[in-house]
Amino acid sequence: MSIPISTPTPTQTAEQTPSTFASFDLHSRVAAGVTAAGYTKPTPIQQEAIPVVLSGRDLLGLAQTGTGKTAAFVLPMLHGLIDGPRGRVRALVVAPTRELAEQIHQDIRTLGQGTKLRSATVYGGVGMNPQAQALRGGAEIIVACPGRLLDHLERGTGTLRDVDMLVLDEADQMFDMGFLPAVRAIVKRVPDGAQRLLFSATMPSDVRALAEAVLRDPVRVEIGRAAPADTISHALYPVARQQKTELLKHLLRRADTRSALVFTRTKHGAKRLAEQLDRDNFFVASLQGNLSQNKRQKALDGFRSGDVHVLVATDIAARGIDVSRVSHVINYDVPTTAEAYTHRIGRTGRAERSGEALTFVTADDTKAVGTIERALGRLERVTLDSFVYEKETASGEATRSQRHPRPRPQNGGRGAASPKPQQGGSNRGGRAQTGSRAPRRSGRSGERSK
């Protein structure tokens, strides 16, 4: 079954749409927000989507993260709301994770700072009452995760009867997380006449079915189909399983690794790796689903401000992280799908900044690497002269390539790293490190305890 979709009319194509924000003729107070955000020209998704949304049409946006898609719906949303009634919820954005919801909310605050429109977030893990107040008209815009929002709607502590615009963001991730039934239940409570926008980086059949059910005669805009931004350089780093942490530390000590987001497969793995790095005095925090909302926010704020240099995260927790300065994304564990790979590395190289994406691969990862390379093309394999590699036997046990490895001539290999700290917990902070990005103990990660 195919979705009835109009592609943009000739006047809406990227080549022919105006390439300045001024030509969208946004309300002056919304335009002031664009200036405040420091945006000088629209990104391709903004060029295509903003005129469509301003025209009132439904929209299907196929765009990966990092393309500027949030402003593509926030700007016309603010424009549409600014002259209307206040004190009721008129726009609803549904997003898969708290982090993404917070990020969208912050973008609304930045872009809408001159509009006096109020935005509020609704998600689990924090109190219901302030959210109920926002839903009762304390805000004109609600950015919500599906589960908690549905909770409010079912308890009667919120209504969507005044919603004029509905945005479903990162629909493929909502599907992956099992939220589609909740999303459908939410959509049922939105008035028929509301404008609907759906964004997704990929179009699995369930998301296509959702789009068919929700959107009416949508205009489809597609930007950079699930391909990573071309400001990112990619490479695979073959390594024996038991040497991954050592290689990670080696890479983190390099001068150009300013701000690294490290992905692990499991929550437990993220917690444990962050603890190991913390013991080696890196400024590190972990971001995973077992943490309280407070701790998640603290970790993110620290990473954003630059106090935390290394954030170890799981896929779900990292969804929506928008830290423009992430210099490296390191896949400590290989993602198992090309989509997950794209989403992870979309955390670097954002908004035309350049970034590096490094993926550790072990003998166990052949299948996952094959999947990623089939979708994205062959990736370069990198081995470092400055690192002493061990070989992995078929049984997974390691053998040293040299029984007593000597550091290679380049200093900056094992010689550059600090001696392995004596485990025992005391005397942290006292170890000097060499290199321009000498790791130090953060004292801020706050994630050492559960």
Residue with tokens 């103990």: 441
Cross-strand pairs, 92: 142, 166
Could you tell me if 257 and 327 are in contact, meaning their C-beta atoms sit under 8 angstroms apart? yes
Residue with tokens 């989507």: 49
Considering only 67-75, 91-99, 244-252, 336-344, which stretch makes contact with ligand AMP by CB under 6 A? 67-75
- How far CA 435 is from CA of 256, 413, 419, 438, in Å, comes to 11, 11, 14, 5
Determine the Cα–Cα distance for residues 374 and 341; give it in Å rounded to an integer: 12
Could you tell me if 253 and 328 are in contact, meaning their C-beta atoms sit under 8 angstroms apart? no
Determine the Cα–Cα distance for residues 22 and 19; give it in Å rounded to an integer: 9
Could you tell me if 160 and 89 are in contact, meaning their C-beta atoms sit under 8 angstroms apart? yes
Question: Degrees (nearest 5) of the Cα angle 294, 139, 115?
Answer: 105
Q: Is residue 32 close enough to count as binding ligand AMP by CB under 6 A?
A: no
Report the residue number, 42 or 218, with the smaller CB distance to ligand AMP. Answer: 42
**For helices 98-111 and 69-81, what crossing angle results, to 10°?**
50
Considering only 63-71, 236-244, 359-367, 428-436, which stretch makes contact with ligand AMP by CB under 6 A? 63-71
Instruction: Give strand ranges (E) for 96-188.
Output: 119-122, 141-144, 165-168
Dihedral of CA atoms 57, 61, 66, 72 in degrees, nearest 10, equals: 0
Report the residue number, 41 or 374, with the smaller CB distance to ligand AMP. Answer: 41
Q: Is residue 167 close enough to count as binding ligand AMP by CB under 6 A?
A: no
Query: According to CB under 6 A, which one of 68, 96, 112, 228 is a site residue for ligand AMP?
Result: 68
Determine the Cα–Cα distance for residues 167 and 199; give it in Å rounded to an integer: 8
Report the residue number, 98 or 244, with the smaller CB distance to ligand AMP. Answer: 98
Supply the minimum distance, in Å, between the C-beta of residue 38 and ligand AMP: 7
Supply the minimum distance, in Å, between the C-beta of residue 65 and ligand AMP: 5
Contact mark string toward ligand AMP, 309..348, x via CB under 6 A = -------------x-x------------------------
Q: Is residue 350 close enough to count as binding ligand AMP by CB under 6 A?
A: yes
Supply the minimum distance, in Å, between the C-beta of residue 103 and ligand AMP: 7
Supply the minimum distance, in Å, between the C-beta of residue 284 and ligand AMP: 23
User: Where is 120: in which H helix or E strand?
Assistant: strand 119-122
Q: Is residue 351 close enough to count as binding ligand AMP by CB under 6 A?
A: yes
Residue with tokens 């692990």: 264
Query: According to CB under 6 A, which one of 66, 146, 355, 439 is a site residue for ligand AMP?
Result: 66
Q: Is residue 412 close enough to count as binding ligand AMP by CB under 6 A?
A: no
Q: Is residue 202 close enough to count as binding ligand AMP by CB under 6 A?
A: no
Instruction: Collect contacts of 427-433 with beta carbons under 8 A, ≥24 apart.
Output: 428/279, 428/281, 429/281, 431/281, 433/253, 433/281
Considering only 9-17, 62-70, 181-189, 293-301, which stretch makes contact with ligand AMP by CB under 6 A? 62-70
Considering only 23-31, 59-67, 179-187, 223-231, which stretch makes contact with ligand AMP by CB under 6 A? 59-67
Supply the minimum distance, in Å, between the C-beta of residue 100 and ligand AMP: 9
Q: Is residue 349 close enough to count as binding ligand AMP by CB under 6 A?
A: no
Query: According to CB under 6 A, which one of 14, 32, 39, 289 is a site residue for ligand AMP?
Result: 39
Q: Which of residues 69-128 bind ligand AMP (CB under 6 A)?
A: 69-71
Token pair in block for residue 76: 């016309």
Residue 284's SS3 state is: strand
- Residues touching ligand AMP, count (CB under 6 A): 15
Residues of this chain that bind ligand AMP (CB under 6 A): 39, 42-43, 46, 65-71, 322, 324, 350-351
